């Protein structure tokens, strides 16, 4: 098969789960055992790679479209790149798009070449209303593009059963067009790798247990709720927040204010690493953490939890979306009940209670070191058994094949 993957993110420009997914899926699709397939990646950036049956080309927006609302500039930039992508593909069997950023290109390639259009559902715009802060009314444009793509897709890959239901309910996609293929993890790269030098570099004490958050500063990841939970944590624990790249200046300022207020209300040390760290350092942080915390208010899958579990670390996470298919309560961690404020509003109905519940779950695990150790072992075992990228690539190729034969 001639396969084209279209994506906003591709190494070295990766900032979220979709980028991680594309990075490892592409690597597996291009392995020697699949050499009969050609794999071409078009992404946002300046990448240029040619290696065997894999070609990667970064696409830049050579034309800048001015906008009255500065928040619309990025939206127009996306459309320009999509048009360039569509013009570069003329001989493909599968065009596989990741996130709305490349959906317009995928729709055009389907119409212009007859290729089968595949979408992987990493998230859905109707479930991310906070993006209005970033895009303004361009959020209506991104939502329209996404809806149009799902209505024209030949096949949809949902990263969880929860996302399968959402695609069907929101966009009316027939269930027989949707296949659930979970996200995965590189088991060799993500494994327990202690490195005391990393802890020392960021001022984390080795003799005091710490809880860890890793992620962007965004409403979706629920980090503000975790910061509010800090005052309810038991004494004798460090809080390490590896959190950078705020969605907007406003949420960046709010984060700084909340962290400072939390420091005034607790004697527990708060270490805020306000940058996105190299993979090796994050793995070291996962490995030494007592508990990884994922307080997301919306999470189609939650690949970050797999990363922590692969490093042998138990997880405390919100009981939302695909997280419920990753974390096994009482076995690999704990799930915290989450009641949204409304059908299209993913903030908790009672933010104070949610924060207290997060703290209670963390405290419960910290009080039982033996259970923590056992949960960490089981977390690693679960990842090994169910979430390897080799299996995920094989399932994806099977789906491609089924579509091209239909």
Question: Among 109-113, 119-123, 262-266, which stretch is predicted with the lowest mean pLDDT?
Answer: 119-123
Residue range 135-139: mean pLDDT, rounded: 92
Residues 6+ apart with CB under 8 A from 354: 225, 295, 336, 338, 348
Residues 271, 276: Cα–Cα separation, whole Å? 14
pLDDT of 343 strictly over 90: no
pTM of the model: 0.78
- CA atoms of 361 and 231, how far apart (whole Å): 14
CATH superfamily membership of 2-184+388-405? Glycogen Phosphorylase B; (3.40.50.2000)
What is the percentage of the chain residues whose pLDDT exceeds 90? 82
Query: Are the folds of 2-184+388-405 and 196-386 the same?
Result: yes
Structural domain spans, the chain? 2-184+388-405, 196-386
Q: What is the mean pLDDT of the chain?
A: 94
Does residue 303 have a pLDDT over 80?
yes
- Per-residue confidence (pLDDT) for residue 247, from 0 to 100: 87
pLDDT digits (tens, 9 = 90+) for 31-44: 867 778 999 999 99
Which CATH architecture fits 196-386?
3-Layer(aba) Sandwich (3.40)
Per the listing, tokens 């209506």 go with: 140
Apex CA 11: angle with CA 10 and CA 15, to 5°? 75
What does the pLDDT read at residue 15? Answer: 82
- Specify the pLDDT at position 334: 98
């Amino acid at each position: 098969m001639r396969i084209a993957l279209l994506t906003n993110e591709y190494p070295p420009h990766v900032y979220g789960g979709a980028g991680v997914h594309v990075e490892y899926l592409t690597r597996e699709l291009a392995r020697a055992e699949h050499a009969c397939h050609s794999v071409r990646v078009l992404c946002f950036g300046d990448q240029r790679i040619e290696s065997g049956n894999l070609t990667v080309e970064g696409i830049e927006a050579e034309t800048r479209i001015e906008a009255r609302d500065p928040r619309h500039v990025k939206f127009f930039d996306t459309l320009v790149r999509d048009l360039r992508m569509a013009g570069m593909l003329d001989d493909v069997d599968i065009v596989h798009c990741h996130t709305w950023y490349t959906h317009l290109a995928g729709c055009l390639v389907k119409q212009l070449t007859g290729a089968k259009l595949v979408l992987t559902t990493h998230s859905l715009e109707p479930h991310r209303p906070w993006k209005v802060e970033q895009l303004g009314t361009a959020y209506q444009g991104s939502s329209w593009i996404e809806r149009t793509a799902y209505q024209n897709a030949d096949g949809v890959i949902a990263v969880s059963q929860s996302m399968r239901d959402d695609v069907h309910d929101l966009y009316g996609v027939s269930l027989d067009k949707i296949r659930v293929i979970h996200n995965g993890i590189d088991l060799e790269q993500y494994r327990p790798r202690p490195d005391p030098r990393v802890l020392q570099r960021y001022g984390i004490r080795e003799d005091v247990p710490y809880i860890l958050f890793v992620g962007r500063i965004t409403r979706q990841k629920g980090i503000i709720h975790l910061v509010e939970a800090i005052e309810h944590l038991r004494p004798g624990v460090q809080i390490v927040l590896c959190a950078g790249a705020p969605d907007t200046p406003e949420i960046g300022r709010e984060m700084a204010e909340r962290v400072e207020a939390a420091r005034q209300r607790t004697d527990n040390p708060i270490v805020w690493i306000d940058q996105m760290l190299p993979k090796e350092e994050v793995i070291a942080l996962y490995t030494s953490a007592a508990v990884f915390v994922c307080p997301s208010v919306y999470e189609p899958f939650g690949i970050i939890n797999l990363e922590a579990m692969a490093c042998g670390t138990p997880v405390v996470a919100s009981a939302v979306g695909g997280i419920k298919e990753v974390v096994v309560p009482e076995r690999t961690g704990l799930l915290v009940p989450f009641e949204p404020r409304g059908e299209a509003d993913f903030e908790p109905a009672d933010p104070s209670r949610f924060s207290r519940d997060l703290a209670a779950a963390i405290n419960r695990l910290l009080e039982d070191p033996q259970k923590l150790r056992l949960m960490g072992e089981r977390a690693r075992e679960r990842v090994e058994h169910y979430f390897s990228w080799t299996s995920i690539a094989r399932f994806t190729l099977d789906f491609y094949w089924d579509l091209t034969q239909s």
